[in-house]
Amino acid sequence: MEEMFASIEDLLENEISIDCVGHRVVHGGEKFFKASVIDKEVTRGIEACVNLAPLHNPANLKGIEIAMKKFKKCTHVAVFDTAFHQSIPETAYIYLLPRKLYEECGVRKYGFHGSSHQYVAREAARILELPMHNSSLITAHLGNGCSATAILNGKSVDTTMGLTPLEGLVMGTRSGDVDPGLHEYLHNTLGWEIEEIHNMLNKECGVLGLSGLSSDIRTITNAAKQWHRGATLAVDVFAYHLTQAIVRLSVNFRRLDALVFTGGIGEHSATIRSKTLRQLRILGFDLDRLRNRIDGKESQGIITFKGVELVAIVVPTNEQMQIAWKCSDLLKSG
């Protein structure tokens, strides 16, 4: 934080003034469905969500505290990863558990990567000249953490991550979906406790666990080209689970306008995009291999053939810009 502030001081010397500081906050629970100007009540709300994001929200609060001391005259805004997904209907966010666990403990699907999904959906609609209020998009944020979201008329209607960022797709070191009975099985057969199982599912699984090599998809795809069995399996399973998720999310639409790839893997892995779209032929995708090979850089990100009805597009994410837009909107509204 001190190094960041030092670089900002250099900007201020060049007469650039700061009006607002935007803070990315991972979890806002059900309390926050939009960006909020930070005051005591908002701070208490973020604190109340610490049990939902014990690794992230305390650090977010510390950053807010330090920044508010440094920039005392600025407006400070919290932009929540979960807020964009608060439009998801109950049928999609509720778990098949006793109702009291939701009512008393807040156990439900929340979703994450909201700023990224919202940004790339907006950019894809702009590039494809789709009216946001009449559009059906699936966005796939693929990096070390991965999630996919169904966005209908600009609003999230379902997403793959759940109560925590562990649910859903295969990721760099996270398992994604597993049988809930796994915890009991590992405890009974290996004597593992909850903390050991949680650590394994978050840090030793996913692409890293399957390949036995790395959590970096670039290393894995290169190894797969050399016929490394673990790497080949990791790439295939990653694409297969992503394909399944896209098909499940598509049930939210009468039509699908576009599939949007973003994040480090989504933007740069032609292999993952190709494998995924080949398995999605039932939906009508027709991949242009040349466009895909160069990440759509000469076709506004579009990697399907020109003139086809169903488009796949690569859109670089920019969560910082999305946060800046949210701050700007709040400032304009007073």
Tell me the catalytic residues.
81
C-beta separation of 37 from 330 below 8 A: yes
SS3 helix, strand, coil % of the chain, rounded to 5? 50, 15, 35
CB of 77 closer than 8 Å to CB of 19? no
Chain-centroid distance, C-alpha 97: 25
Q: Report strand pairing: 258-262 vs 155-159.
A: unpaired
Task: Please list, in sequence order, all residues whose beta carbon lies within 8 angstroms of the beta carbon of residue 65, skipping any fewer than 6 positions away.
Answer: none
- Chain centroid to Cα 277, Å, comes to 20
Token representation of residue 328: 């700007």
Q: Are 248 and 280 in contact (CB under 8 A)?
A: no
Q: Which amino acid is at 55?
A: L
CA distance 208 to 148: 20
* Burial class of residue 37 in the structure, from the number of CB atoms within 10 Å of its CB (0-12 exposed, 13-18 middle, 19+ buried): middle
CA distance 99 to 111: 19
| Strand stretches in the chain, DSSP E | 20-25, 36-37, 75-80, 136-142, 146-152, 155-159, 258-262, 311-314
Dihedral of CA 202/203/209/214: which sign? positive
